[in-house]
Chain A
Amino acid sequence: MKKREVIAMLLAGGQGTRLGILTRKLAKPAVPFGGKYRIIDFPLSNCSNSGIYTVGVLTQYQPLILNSYIGIGSHWDLDKKHGGVTVLPPYVRHDGGHWYLGTANAVYQNIEFVDQYNPEYVLILSGDHIYKMDYSKMIDFHKEKDADVTIAVIEVPWEETHRFGIMNTEADNKIVEFEEKPKKAKNNLASMGVYVFEWKKLRNALIEDDLDSNSDHDFGKNVIPKMLEEKQKVYAYPFEHYWKDVGTIESLWQANMDLLDDSPELNLYEKDWKIYSVNPNQPVQYIGKEASVKKSLVNEGCQVHGAIEKSVLFPGVVVGEGSVIKDSVIMSDVTIGDNVIIERSIIGEECTIEDHCQIGQPGVGQEGITVLGENVVASKGKNIPAGVEINIDNCHEFGCCPNGVEHKEVER
C-alpha cells in the first residue's frame, strides 16, 4: 500500500449517553446538527479540507445510520483509489475478539490498518465536536516543535474547567501535566480530543497499554499521562476559534442557537472551508404568504406557513398556518399542523405535531429543553410541558403515540 505521511483515526463509537433519547438509535457522531449536518461532518470535512484523505472511522455503538451515512466517503471527497475513508468496526480474530474497550484500545485493535500506510503521523480525532480546524497547521506545529505528541487545546471559562481534561503548560506550550476533570484547575486550557502522534511512538505506547491490566485504555486517562511520565515531548497546540462539545441536550441546543447570530463565530458560509454533508436532494424551500421567518436557518424541502423565530429547520419540515416555532430545533421531515406553539424544544425526525398542540411552554417549576425523539405523534391539542423527554417508548404517558399507529398523517 502507498505510504501516507498522515492518516486520521476518527473515534466515532461513542454513545453520548447524556444526549438521552437523541442517541437511542444512533451514535453521537450521527446526531443531526445545524439544519443540515451530522456532527461527524465537521471532522470529516476538516480532514478533506486539510488534505488528509486517509481516514479510519472507528465505530461501535449503534453504527447502522453512521455506516450508511458515511458510505464510501464520496460526500466529503474521501472516495479515493488509495486510502479514502474506511469504517472500522470491532471484529473477531483467530483467537476470539472483543469490543473496543476504550479509545486507545480501538486504535490498538487497528494497528494493522494504520501499518498498511506506514504513516509518520497519526491524527486522532473524535466525532463529538463542532468546529472548523485546519489540521495541516497543527501537524506543521507538531513538526516545528519536534514533538512526540501534540494536543489541540482551547481556553475554556475557569468555572467550567472541571468538565474538561486540563493541560498545564510551560511558556513554549510544552505540557508538563495533564489533569482529567480537575476540581481545582491550575490552568484553563482544555484538550479538544484532537491529537497528533508520531506513529512509531504511539504504536509502542498502544502495545504497552494493552498489556496494562489496570488501564482503561483511554487516550486522555492513560496513554497521554503515561507518555508525560516517561518525559516524552508533549505539546499543546492552541486553537482560538469556535469549538463546542455537544455532549448534552442543553449544549446541543445551544450550539444550534449559536448559528443564528447575524455573524456567528462558526461561519458555515466560508467558501474555502465548506462543511460537506449528504445532501437531501429536496426542492427549494417555500415560505408562504402569511409566513414570517426571522433569525433562523431553514433547509431545502421545507414549507413554512407559520412564524419561525430563532429556530433551525432541517429538510422537509412542514409548518402550518398560525403556528409559532421559537428557540427550537426541528429535525428532518417533521410535520407541524396549524396553530401549534413550540418553544425551546428539539423535535426529532419524522415527528408529527397536529393542530393546536403546545410544546415546551414554560410553566411553574418547569424549565429546560423539551425533547421529542424520532417518530412521535402529538395528536391534536396536546400540551407537552417544558423539560420533558418523550420517545416512542414512553410517549403514551404523555398522551402521544408512535408514528404510523392510530393516526392520520397530516397531508404534506
Chain B
Amino acid sequence: MKNVVGIINDTDIKQKLKDLTRARSTAAVPFGGRYRIIDFVLSNMANSGIKNIGILTQSYNRSLLDHVDSGKEWDLLSKRDGLFILPPIFRYDQFTGNLGDVDHYYNHMDYLNRSRQEYILISNSNIIYNMDYREIEAFYHQKKADVVMVYKNLSESEKTNYRILSLLLDNNERVHDMADARDKMLSPAAALEIAFMKKSLFMQLIDDCIARGYRDFTKDGLIKNLHRYKIFAYEHKGYAAKIDSIRTYYAHSMDLLKPEVWKDVFLSHGTISTKVKDEPPAKYQESAKVNNSLLANGCHVAGIVENSILSRGVVVHAGATVRNSIVMQKGQIHEGAVVENAIIDKDVVITSGKQIIGDTEYPMVVEKQAVI
C-alpha cells in the first residue's frame, strides 16, 4: 500500500478513561502488558505496507511522542516518507474551545498536499485489532467505491451502553444509513472508525465542511454525503475492540486472557510492534503461583497472580496477591498486599498489607505514581 497515506486521529481524548487519560492521550494508554493502544493501528498500517503515516495528536502528547519516537520500531524511519507527528495548531482566529476533527485535518492540509500518495486511510487511534488493510484496498476497487468504511458485527454481549456508530447496509454492502447513538443501533454493524478513499476526495470533504462551518468528519463529512458518494463498508471478521471508557478498557484487556483472542490480536496478520525496553525475561521465584495471566518482560513474581495482566518491570513480592487486575509498568505490590479487580497505573507502589479491591463491573483505578 505504498500509494496510501495513513492518518491516525488521536485528537479525541476519551474522558471516560478517567485517570488513565489524565496525563496522556488515548493512543498512549498502556494496553496488553507491553503495548500502548496506538501500537495496534500503527502496526496494522506498517504491516500492510503503508510507508507514510501521520499522527494527529492532542495537547497531552509527551508520552505518545516518547513512545513512537522516530517510528523506527515500525520500520518508519526512512529518508522518504516515514512517520509524521501532526500536533494541534492553535490559531487566534479559531475558537479553540470547540475544535472538531475536521479542524485538525484542515490545519494539516499541507502535510496531505505534500505527500505523494494518491489514497488515504484514516483511523481513530483507540481500536484494538489485527487487520491487513490491503483487504480494504481490494474491496474498494472491487466495489468501485468512493469511500470504504470497516465494520464489525457485534454480538449481543459486545453491545455497550456507550455511543456506537452503527451502519445500515444493503446486500451489496453499500451504506444507506449511519447513526452515532447510545443504546440504539441501526443494525449490529458497528463502524470501526476507519475510512479509505482517494486523498483528493478526503481533502474536498474537509474543505466542504470548513466552508460550511462543520466540525465533525463522520457526521458532516460522511453522513451528510451518504447519497452523494458511494460509501461501502467492509466487514472485519476477527477480533476488534474499541477502548473508550474504563469499563471497555478493563473488559477488553481481560479478553486477551482468552487464548483465541491472544492469537488473533497478536499473531493473525502481522506482529504488533512497540517501543523496545531491553528488559530481561520475566522471572518466577520458587514461591510464585501464576495462572491465567499475561506477563511482560522484566517482571519479577514471587507472589500469587491470577487472571491478570502485568506490564514490564512489575514486581509482585512473596505473599502478595494480584487477581483480576491490570498492573502497568514498574508497579510494585508488596508483601501481604491484595489487589483485586483493579487497574494500577504506572509506577504505583502498593505497600505491605494494603488491600485494593474493586468490583468486576467497576474496577478500581489507582492513578500514576501513587503510593498506597
**B-contacting residues of A (Cβ < 8 Å)?**
34-36, 262, 268-269, 274-277, 279, 281-300, 303, 308, 312-313, 412
Of the residues A262, A284, A288, contact of B295 by C-beta under 8 Å: A284
24 A-B pairs with C-beta separation under 8 A = A262-B302, A268-B280, A269-B300, A275-B278, A275-B280, A279-B276, A279-B278, A283-B33, A283-B265, A285-B282, A285-B295, A286-B262, A287-B291, A288-B291, A290-B291, A291-B290, A294-B287, A297-B280, A297-B281, A297-B283, A298-B281, A299-B281, A303-B259, A308-B284
B221 proximal to A (CB < 8 A): no
B200 proximal to A (CB < 8 A): no
Residues 273-305 of B at the A interface (beta carbon under 8 Å)? 273-274, 276, 278, 280-298, 300, 302
Closest CB in chain A relative to B68 CB, distance in Å: 15
Q: Do A289 and B292 touch across chains, with their CB atoms under 8 A apart?
A: yes
Q: Do A262 and B286 touch across chains, with their CB atoms under 8 A apart?
A: yes
Q: Do B294 and A285 touch across chains, with their CB atoms under 8 A apart?
A: yes
Given A281-B273, A283-B272, A292-B289, A34-B278 contact (CB < 8 Å): no
For the complex, give the distance between the alpha carbons of A276 and B276 in Å. Answer: 10
B34 proximity list for chain A (CB < 8 A): 283-284, 300
Q: Do A299 and B290 touch across chains, with their CB atoms under 8 A apart?
A: no
B32 proximal to A (CB < 8 A): yes
Query: Which residue among A275, A283, A296, A299 has the maximum number of chain B CB atoms within 10 Å of its CB?
Result: A283
A269 proximity list for chain B (CB < 8 A): 280, 283, 298, 300
Chain A binding surface SS class:
loop
Q: Do B271 and A297 touch across chains, with their CB atoms under 8 A apart?
A: no
B265 proximity list for chain A (CB < 8 A): 283
Q: Which 6 A-B pairs have the closest CB atoms?
A: A284-B33, A283-B266, A268-B280, A35-B281, A299-B281, A297-B281
B262 proximity list for chain A (CB < 8 A): 283, 286
For the complex, give the distance between the alpha carbons of A298 and B301 in Å. Answer: 11
A282 proximity list for chain B (CB < 8 A): 266, 271
For the complex, give the distance between the alpha carbons of A184 and B45 in Å. Answer: 66
A34 proximity list for chain B (CB < 8 A): 280-281
B190 proximal to A (CB < 8 A): no
B282 proximity list for chain A (CB < 8 A): 285, 297-299
Further 20 A-B residue pairs, CB within 8 A, beyond A286-B293, A292-B289: A35-B281, A36-B297, A275-B280, A279-B278, A281-B73, A283-B266, A284-B294, A284-B295, A285-B282, A286-B257, A287-B291, A294-B285, A294-B286, A295-B284, A299-B282, A299-B297, A300-B281, A303-B259, A312-B281, A313-B281
Closest CB in chain A relative to B43 CB, distance in Å: 10
Q: Do A283 and B278 touch across chains, with their CB atoms under 8 A apart?
A: no
B309 proximal to A (CB < 8 A): yes
For the complex, give the distance between the alpha carbons of A262 and B286 in Å. Answer: 8
Q: Do A276 and B295 touch across chains, with their CB atoms under 8 A apart?
A: no
Q: Do A295 and B285 touch across chains, with their CB atoms under 8 A apart?
A: yes
Given A275-B280, A279-B278, A284-B309, A293-B290 contact (CB < 8 Å): yes
Q: Do B292 and A287 touch across chains, with their CB atoms under 8 A apart?
A: yes
